Amino acid sequence: MKKQVYKIEIPEKAIKQTHFGEDESLALNVAHKQIMVRPANLLEQLPRIKFWWYFVPAVILTLALFAMAQHLKLTTVPIIGDYSIANGSLLMSLISGLLVFIVTAIITKIHKNGPAQDFYWRSLITITVACGLIIVFSFSAFFWLFEQLFMDARFDLYTSTMFILLIISAVNYIMINLALTLSPGIVTNLLTIMIIGGMLFSMLTNSDRNWWKHNFSFLGTAQNSANLQFNVTLIFSGLLMMALVDYLFVNLQKKYNNRRVLILRLLLYAQAACIAAIGFSPNNPRFHVLHDRISMWLVYIMLILIVAIRWILPHVRKQFLDVSYIIGGLMGFNYIVFKLSDYLSLTAFELLEFGLAMSWILLLFQNIESLAQYGENFFLIQIKKDQSNEE
């Protein structure tokens, strides 16, 4: 008897959503007790990034910097400073990286040949600005560390130019690849990096090292020299969260198009709007009352989401419900401890609440993403023995 073979009947509607041709050879992979079927020529399915897409823009901008350095008669260039490797590479990487990202994303969406096609056009500006902020945060941290390792180091003009060329090329490549593979998971990571990176950047660069003795909102006030970074981070974190909600609910509402899912979407929009509004109304005397009101709305919406998630999220898992109630309980416990004792300072209380809330929001997005991945792409099939293969 020959080895037993099993067959799977794939619905025609499912085949139409792929590029599989009749009698085409496919590759089957088994991982974590799951079967994955992909084209045999998998490498050809990966994003193709041509060398000149990222290198030519880098060369043009690097030559412009080199010409400016020649005009200023610079013979050596410091790592950090007014005319430095850090400033030159940051400025040119920001211009070049965002430009190639926008162009690639637009082409991908127009031709409908990548994950970015499901994003709304209005999300492009938000995602682009978020990427720009992450570039700024990353460069600031990288060159600060580089400066600590090589204190007062300077390089000749040609070596500095090569460094800048390589940095711009690398950023261009990353941004093109990001545009070609944009997905909810990537946007969630961008949101996490931007919020955490923006907060840490504001903490490290603020003028008052004792900011933590005031409160968390102090980072956004006029008393902090880095208040602009903090507030801009909050504004675009809220907008990026809206873009993520847009993307996720495009597919989710194709299958679960009911009032409960709409309520969930509106609550998440309201949550994102509150985050952005806090950045627009920092805790200065002029906006103090409004800042506190919006912060309380943020908390109320969070509590409503945790309590109502059992009814407004389709097919919610018991494990997620348990985690939700534990996080909600911890937030309530922290509030009681803060109000009834001096154990927690205002800053510690705010940081704990922010950490718990952010963790829960990310878990919620993961659950919504899992549901959204199905939508109209979910098909029931059966595995059957191939009787014709038996002797």
Closest CA to 269 of 239, 233, 312, 309: 239
CA distance 168 to 174: 10
CA distance 334 to 320: 21
CA distance 296 to 280: 15
* The pLDDT value given to residue 118: 67
380 pLDDT more than 70: no
27 forms beta bridges with: 38
Q: Name the least confident of 218-232, 307-321, 368-382.
A: 368-382
11 vs 94: which has the higher pLDDT: 94
Tell me which long-range contacts 382-387 makes (C-beta under 8 A, separation of at least 24).
382/8, 382/9, 383/6, 383/7, 383/8, 384/6, 384/7, 384/8, 384/9, 385/4, 385/5, 385/6, 385/7, 386/4, 386/5, 386/6, 386/7
Residues 187, 247: contact at Cβ < 8 Å? yes
233 pLDDT more than 70: yes
Q: pLDDT by residue (tens digit) across 49-79?
A: 777 888 888 899 899 988 888 888 888 888 8
389 pLDDT more than 60: no
176 pLDDT more than 80: yes
Q: Which residues contact 358 (CB under 8 A, 6 or more apart)?
A: 192, 195
222 pLDDT more than 70: yes
* The pLDDT value given to residue 40: 62
Q: In Å, how far from its chain's centre is CA 138?
A: 14
Compute the average pLDDT of residues 236-247.
83
* Max avg pLDDT among 74-78, 84-88, 220-224, 273-277: 273-277
The secondary structure element, H or E, covering residue 28 is strand 26-31
CA distance 89 to 97: 11
Compute the average pLDDT of residues 70-95.
84
CA distance 241 to 233: 12
Q: Which pLDDT band, with edges at 50, 70 and 90, does 289 fall under? A: confident
* The pLDDT value given to residue 268: 92
303 pLDDT more than 80: yes
Q: pLDDT by residue (tens digit) across 113-171?
A: 666 666 777 778 878 888 888 888 788 777 777 777 777 778 888 888 898 899 999 99
